[in-house]
Structure 1
Amino acid sequence: MTSLTVTLPIGVAVLERGWLSSNNVVLSGAPGEPTTLVDSGYCTHGPQTVALVRRHLAGRRLHTVINTHLHSDHCGGNALLQSAFGARVAIPPGEAEAATQWDMSRLSYEATGQRCERFKVDKVVAPGDVFDIAGRYWQVLAAPGHDPHSIMLFSPEEQLLISADALWQNGFGVVFPEIEGETAFREVRATLDLIAALDSTVVIPGHGSPFRDVEAALERAYRRLESFEASPDKHGWYAGKALAKFHLLEVQQEPLDEMLRWLADTPYFQLIHTRYFRGINYASWSQRIIEELQKSRAVTVSNGVVFNT
């Protein structure tokens, strides 16, 4: 659906999705002109994505899908959109070789316990590129932090930023390089500083509604970052709960023992535990993730089954 809280420029529309899928941003011109889609959602939502896009195209041609980064919730619909519309897929350069070869050891899907159907890489979009999409210029900006290869799109004319997971109205995405043992909080700060310097009046995030109060959102993001910098284990809990919740969003319900087994077998949870919680027994830590989700009412546990709520 298109967000009703912010009036967007003509030719820019947001198909706002639930948290299993990222938002889809439609950039279109006059009837008959090709349309560009930014990010394509998760693979299990693929048929819904195709239906939403087809309805919004209203006879236009979907020419290109641009991915801000290659996390499964942002590019999982690529393959189906290529099949349904013949769309070309453009991705940031950092993982272009891995995606072209579909090298699962370098892509994040197995490590996070998520899925993505293989798609064809047609083009690379790199920071510094400028595109004329439907009569409006968009700058491609580097946005490392959440993902080292992530990009944002900025329209100076409209002071409009497509921020992906670099800035939400209430925070930003898990800083995955930190989980892998790299120092990436400084990249998060640099990206937030870049967003602040753009003087955007509207931000379209990867999740949640478009918003205007960019200064307040940045203030909240800086506070969250400072909290993570001061106590990195807080980021560990954030990451563990976010990835576990994503899994429940996909499966909806799962026997508790099976979910605990999934947590034990999924490589990213092993990384999180090693990085932040090696002093805690792994089984106890896994159980606590579910307990923390239950405490925040993100899941319900009943009769030995974990339910998404």
Structure 2
Amino acid sequence: MSPQSAAPSLPSWATWWQRPFPNANTLLLPGRQPALIDSGFVGHAAETAAWARSQAGDVALVLNTHWHSDHVGGNALLQARGAAIAAGTPEAEAISRRDPGCCAAEYLDQPVAPYTVDIPLDDGQVLRLGDTDWEVVRTPGHTPGHLALWQPEERLLVVGDALSDYDVGWVNLALDGLDAAAMALASLKRMADLAPRVILPSHGPMPADPAAAFAGALRRAQRLVDDPDGAVWYGARRIFAFALMIREGIPADEVEPYLHARTWLTDAARLLDLASEALATELVTTMLGSGAVVLRKGRLLAAADHTPVAAETLRVPYPRAWPSVGPR
């Protein structure tokens, strides 16, 4: 393997767990105050907690790059076992007031178990994670509260869903405004300027060449700015594929009724100036045609590698039914 393609190396005090969907990758920082960055999907919360404990003992802090279901699913269990939760201030405030839109859980139909945020995070804040200091870098775009984490001595950059070796995060133009794609692009430029030695993305492997990964991500992000309709389609494909993953597919004759009931699809259809029914049909047809979804034994399934989810683990309340947060 050439030096250019060699896998990046992490210091001994960082433990990386690359996980298939529907989980986000997890970074564990053992030490006097063991910290976990992102906690996976609710259906695998017990697995996340057991792994972290086997590696570092009791987790003192869970820090979320953002509040989507694949990043916060272990929060409730780990918090019940004594961990504090840290998140970007906009998301922390919404969770504290139990905003029905928390985590976009109901909007995306992606379950999240109730949790609270103990430590709101602002841009430039320095945190002790494990035995090392990390700087919070606000990187809105994929969500308004999305953040990255920068470790300057080792030049490690946790980027959340902002980019991966093969992709950039989808943007929600309906919920977050038409400038969400431009914000995501600006966030990528800010992160690229840090010139990290190692990029730690939420999905897929650590890129072998960080500069090349940023160059590719900037091109993709610019396309989302230049083509808002393409950005809407991109998000719809990602959301629908995730829905299929966490349910081990949906019966073929129930797929379009399922889609018709989704607010995210209604919003996407409005932005594309299509009828919801027409968008649902086209979404299924194009994803079958591309191989992103497959029809097998009467069920439509996501083709991407993913870990099965037990159906009973999805039975958690939407945020509008979460218990209120008392004084802290």
1:1-309 equivalences under 5 Å are 5-29=7-31, 33-57=32-56, 60-83=57-80, 85-177=81-173, 180-275=176-271, 277-278=272-273, 280-302=274-296, 304-309=298-303
| Residue type at the aligned position of 1:88 | A
CA 1:182–1:106 in structure 2 vs 1: closer, same or farther (change >3 Å)? Answer: farther
Alpha-carbon shift at residue 177 of structure 1 (Å):
4.1
Shift of 1:55: 2.1
Greater RCO, CA 8 A, separation 6+: 2
Closer, same or farther: CA 303–18 of 1 in aligned 2, 3 Å: closer
* 1:154 to partner: Cα distance: 0.2
Aligned counterparts of 1:171 and 1:147: Cα–Cα separation in 2: 16
Letter aligned with residue 191 of structure 1:
S
Shift of 1:230: 2.5
**Does the CA contact (< 8 Å) of 1:168 and 1:206 recur in 2?**
yes
Q: Which runs of 5+ in 1 are unaligned?
A: none
Residue 107 of structure 1 deviates from its aligned partner by 4.1
* Counterpart for residue 307 of structure 2: none
Distance of 2:267 and 2:278 partners within structure 1: 16
Amino acid at match of 1:40: S
Higher mean displacement: 159-168 or 249-258: 249-258
Aligned partner of residue 127 in structure 2, secondary structure: strand
- String of CA shifts for 1:237-288, please: whole Å, max 9, x gaps: 111110000001100121123221121111111111111x22x332222122
Work out the CA distance in 2 between the residues paired with 1:218 and 1:178: 26
2:319 match: none
How far, CA to CA, are the matches of 1:231 and 1:259 in structure 2? 27
Write the distance in 2 (CA, Å) between the matches of 1:228 and 1:133.
34
Structure-2 change in CA distance of 1:11 and 1:177 (3 Å): farther
Preserved CA contact (<8 Å) 1:256 1:305: yes
Secondary structure of the structure 1 residue equivalent to 2:60: strand
TM-score (norm 1): 0.91
Q: Deviations over 1:87-120 (max 9, x none)?
A: 1111111022321232223541101111100012
Q: Gaps spanning 5+ residues in structure 2: where?
A: 1-5, 304-328
**Given that residues 69 and 147 in structure 1 are in contact (C-alpha distance below 8 angstroms), is that contact kept between their aligned partners in structure 2?**
yes
Cα distance in 2 for partners of 1:103, 1:188 equals: 24
Q: SS at 2:11's partner residue?
A: coil
Q: Check the 8 A contact 2:9/2:198 in 1, yes or no.
A: no
Quote the Cα distance in structure 2 between the aligned partners of 1:19 and 1:252.
12
TM-score normalised by the chain length of structure 2: 0.86
* Cα distance in 2, alignment partners of residues 119 and 241 from structure 1: 28
Give the Å deviation of 1:121.
1.9
User: How far apart are the structure 1 equivalents of 2:58 and 2:279?
Assistant: 49
Q: Could you tell me whether the CA contact under 8 Å between 1:17 and 1:24 is conserved in 2?
A: yes
* SS of equivalent residue, structure 1 residue 34: coil
- Give % identity: 30
- CA deviations on 1:38-90 (whole Å, 9 max, x unpaired) are 01111111122122222222xx331000111111111111001122x311111
Deviation string 1:188-238 (CA, Å, 9 cap, x unpaired) is 121111112101010000111122411111111122122222322111111
Cα distance in 2, alignment partners of residues 65 and 106 from structure 1: 18
> Does the C-alpha gap of structure 1 residues 134 and 281 become closer, same or farther in structure 2, counting only changes over 3 Å?
closer
